[in-house]
Structure 1
Amino acid sequence: MKPSTPENDSYDAHARTCDPNDLWGQVKRTVQGTPLPEEQIQLILSNTSAALALSESDVLLDLCCGNGALSTHWFAACADGVGVDASPYLIEVARSRFAPDRPERFLLSEVLDYLQSADLRSDFTKAVCYGSLQYLSPERAGAVLALLRTKCPRISRIVIGNIPDRDRATEFFGRDMPGTPELDTPRSAIGVWHTQQGFIALAQRSGWHCQTRLMPADFYAAHYRFDAILTPLV
């Protein structure tokens, strides 16, 4: 794992301030500080599973898995799965709650380091990164996608979920629309705002065909976020 960074330290520190049972608060899956209701979580789980086309034969890699609260549901539909996250506390929560007898299921690492390491498994068939890739710079995000293409040749589908949509940023910010620097930085509260076409181009440069889609209208963030579904470029 890389030396700690201000972003990772802040992410880990926030999780430690939450109640041990507040799994959604720990990973900031909240609206104005309130954890998402169960029906919203179910929308995330069901729509992401469908986008991944999960099957019992799949081996799923969950990048930036947090405390594993989403991962464990997706893994249950697969033959196996591994979650990776840079927060020591959240990986501790994931292991103790969801894999007490399988410490190798949730790994402590910055995702780019993991994809470059000797620990990377070669049998992953699907991958997901939900609500987190925007906290990497476009250059690092592209490197992650490129490594998934070259180091994990069996992966047939990736879902990058909950990406902030730059073309609809005013629907989130209203009159308080920030300037370009804040929209471009992975260190902001929401991370990098990508246009859908820009993200498609980023994926293509990394070896992936990319389709974007919106969540159902009753999803709390449907008005300013999008998902991306990646399949290998031939």
Structure 2
Amino acid sequence: MIIRSLVAALLAAVMLPGQPALAATNTGTTPAAQSPVAVIDTWIHWTRRTTWLTYGGTSVLEGQVVAEADALGYTEPLQDAAVELFARPAGASEWRRVATGTTDSDTVFRFNDHQPSRNTDYRVVYQGDLLYQESSATTRVNVRRVITSKVTRNDDGTLTMRGTVVPKVAGKTVRLQLKTCASCSWSTLRSATTTSRSTWAFRVTAPTSGDRTWFYRVFTPRDRDFLTSFSGTWKIRR
């Protein structure tokens, strides 16, 4: 704790009996017998953080408040540093405080119980104190939609692939993709939009000849609120 020791020494020098205390305002002169207390810069260091998750998942945001290097070149993560967590959905302008915490005995703050409902920016703020400057850091947690799917056989021998998009959304574009072998590239066949109940459906066919397997899936394109999101892949054999 080299920084804390140096700071304690400086404070003791300021508070010696018979010496005037340092004022918050600068008068342009400093008493010759006093040494000013230096304000120490800090920054937020992320130790673990979620960059994306599937809708309904819980994000992990962990880090440290680190004081800048002292005269000997040592940095110091601060223990018992009070921090605040703010959230702002993608596209929004205002931040909202959603949690508070402190760095623990391992000098780590932990915010591990938040479930973003769409792409969300998070900001951790350390307000600082008499000795340490305030600091903050921002990170984004992106979210993928959940796309359910199932396949049923029709009387005419074709198949219907259908499902839902979660969270519920009407008019969202859903695209059907096919690849005709496991190592082949995906090709987009056609598009549809979700209904008012957030459902979608496509009629698909099996391979027309030979002992072959086709692969189908659907996806929703990326937008402001969500990443590109995929259903599971269905294997259709002749």
Scaled by the length of structure 1, what TM-score is found?
A: 0.18
Larger Rg: 2
What is the TM-score normalised by the length of structure 2?
Answer: 0.18
The higher-RCO structure (CA 8 Å, 6+ apart) is 1
Q: If each structure's strand is expressed as a fraction of its own residues, which one has the higher value? A: 2
More helix by share: 1
